[in-house]
Amino acid sequence: QVVLWNAETLKQKAVLEEHSLLITDVRFGPSIPRIATSSFDKTVRVWDVDNQDDTVHTFTGHSASVMSVDFHPNKDDLICSCDGNGEIRLWSISSGRAVRNFKGGSSQLRFQPRHGGFLAAASENVVSILDVETQACVRIFEGHTEHVDSLCWSPTGDYVVSTSEDTVKVWSVNSGNENCVQELNSTGSKFHACAFHPKYPSLLIIGCYQSLELWDMVENRSMTVAAHDGLISALASSSSGLVASVSHDKHVKLWK
């Protein structure tokens, strides 16, 4: 079940109830008011949010739980998703069909911001950078010893950040494989989700078990903020300056 809230008034706007099993990822459309969700029920759904009849597009074809979904930053008709078997699908929203189908990621994927030329995809301990046009793998970032739980791009699209329980790594996309430019080791908190601060691009927000870690990557300093009663499973940063955190404690919190 997806509940849509108005962030200004904090009133509930709509309840989108359709997936039959757990939802694994949720994303806002970059220009058209839409939401995409992926689920253990092997489907992806896209909702037209402002449409009175709540049009829902359902995408079927994945053979395993769909673990992640994302909208292309400027091609309004394009979304991608990946499943537990490592299969990635690019879908046309209007036709409801998969336009490409290839291997490369199983736990999370994110389009590069702005141009959308690349796709970052995580599978076990590895992060791959794939060319969206050719589906070729152009970079492989190896170095995590634990499973990668989440990915985020810097707003300029030059760096990808990957988190696993024990460490956060920052990779430069423009300078070859194995280029981990910075890392933060956990001193006890279990890292899980990540997002760049909407106003300070050198500040990375890491969602942990019960807390948020704020890491200033330029000063190389970090601080811990108590935030939830459970694991912070996802973070999102909005252009209006808000950060949303979602936790296994069943709360969504908005920060600024």
**Which residues contact ligand NAG by CB under 6 A?**
183, 185, 220
Nearer to ligand NAG, 52 or 220 (CB): 220
Strand partners, 56: 47
Nearer to ligand NAG, 9 or 185 (CB): 185
Nearer to ligand NAG, 20 or 187 (CB): 187
Polymer length of the chain: 256
Which DSSP helix (H) or strand (E) runs through 91? strand 87-92
Nearer to ligand NAG, 165 or 183 (CB): 183
146's torsion region: left (phi>0), alpha (psi -120 to 50) or beta? beta
Nearer to ligand NAG, 220 or 240 (CB): 220
Q: How far apart are CA 110 and CA 227, in angstroms?
A: 25
Are the beta carbons of 32 and 26 closer than 8 angstroms? no
* Closest distance of CB 205 from ligand NAG, Å: 17
Radius of gyration for the alpha carbons in the chain, expressed in angstroms and rounded:
17
* Closest distance of CB 155 from ligand NAG, Å: 22
* Closest distance of CB 172 from ligand NAG, Å: 14
* Closest distance of CB 200 from ligand NAG, Å: 18
Nearer to ligand NAG, 139 or 169 (CB): 169
Cβ burial 119-148 (10 Å sphere, 16+ → b, else e): bbbbbeebbbbbebeeeeeebebebbeeeb
Please name which of 189, 183, 188, 219 lies closest in space to residue 207, comparing C-alpha atoms.
189
* Closest distance of CB 185 from ligand NAG, Å: 4
* Closest distance of CB 216 from ligand NAG, Å: 10
Burial class (CB within 10 angstroms; exposed 0-12, middle 13-18, buried 19+) of 250: exposed
